[in-house]
Amino acid sequence: MKWLLTIIPIILIADQYTKWLIRQKIALYEKIVVIDGFFNLTHVQNAGAAFGLFSDMDKSFRVPFFYSISLIAFVILIYLFINTSPQEWRMRGILTLITGGALGNVTDRILFGSVTDFIQVYYKSFSWPSFNVADSCITVGVILLFIEMIFFNKEQIMINNTGETSNEVSDNAAVLTEDSL
């Protein structure tokens, strides 16, 4: 729980403070060139999901839909965190990043009805959709989750010749635990 109580408030404060600054200092749709040809600060309000998906959806459906999805995601993330061993510090860190980012964006939805995005990365005619600190935390968390699952997860499910699944590492760990008692 230490991760949740320490890191999530830091993410939430950083996210909400940067969004507040953008709303105060940059007019809607205005952009400030930071690195010409690569990086702008811009003020965009995103009523949809990631990359503006579903922003054209009727508000009477969109708002309850996003609140429901956010609540379900939050419950799942907390459940996963609680059921992750304290020794699995990488996984706890990953879940904390994703949870902090999700809370940052849902805070915007509750307070303003949309999410403030302001980081715009582009090169020539290619432009990535604008994003914010919360989006960055979610993205980094998801990338780290894939890396964790592919390279570091010791409890990979193996399929034996009969097609049955087994968890060899976990089964061996249980035997070692029983033998050590």
117 tagged catalytic: yes
* 3-state DSSP of the chain: CHHHHHHHHHHHHHHHHHHHHHHHHCCCCCEEEEECCCEEEEEEEECCCHHHCCCCCCHHHHHHHHHHHHHHHHHHHHHHHHCCCCCCHHHHHHHHHHHHHHHHHHHHHHHHCCEEEEEEEEECCEECCCECHHHHHHHHHHHHHHHHHHHHCCCCCEECCCCCEECHHHHHHHHHHHHHC
Residue of 56, 108, 135, 179 marked active site = 135
Distance of CA 167 to the CA centre of its chain: 28
- Catalytic residue, candidates 36, 56, 117, 179: 117
How many angstroms separate the CA atoms of 8 and 103, rounded? 8
Catalytic residues: 117, 135
